[in-house]
Amino acid sequence: MIFPATTAVFAALLALVYAGLSFWVVAGRFSSDVLHGDGGNQTLLKRIRSHGNFIEYVPLTLILIGLLEASGAGGGLVTTLLVVLLVARILHPIGMIAPKNSPQQFACRGGGIIATILVMTIAAVTLLARTV
């Protein structure tokens, strides 16, 4: 089995994005004086959900892509999936704080989550095709 070096680099980059989201939530808690939950603050809720959505999708997607890379899949496919995942996970929180029903909300939030799910699905189907 090959060490998934490309996935490792992107996992580190995504960990930095996650750390940024974590600090964003903490800053929102301090500015809203909310220690637990969202305190009814819609802005804080959006930050919390951006953070939560990241951790709900990224780990499994990274595992799938890492397994794909380790199985010897082409570097172009792996890199493309990882670049799209990284961009999607940066766009999603931008869309979460965009004005309701704005083009930015649809493009960033909607595009971010759709791209994330597509990357996860492509990685899963490709991995199945390579191993079954």
Q: Which residues are CB-neighbours of 57 under 8 A, at least 6 positions away?
A: 89, 113, 116, 117, 120
pLDDT at residue 13 is higher than 70: yes
What mean pLDDT is reported for the chain? Answer: 95
Between vectors from CA 88 to CA 85 and to CA 90, what angle results, nearest 5°?
110
Of residues 61, 68, 32, the one with CA closest to residue 47: 32
Cβ-based neighbours of 53, under 8 Å, separated by 6 or more:
92, 113
The hierarchical CATH code for the domain 5-131 is 1.20.120.550
Give me the long-range contacts of 25-31 (CB less than 8 A, separation at least 24). 25/51
Per-residue pLDDT tens over the stretch 88-117: 999 999 999 999 999 999 999 999 999 999
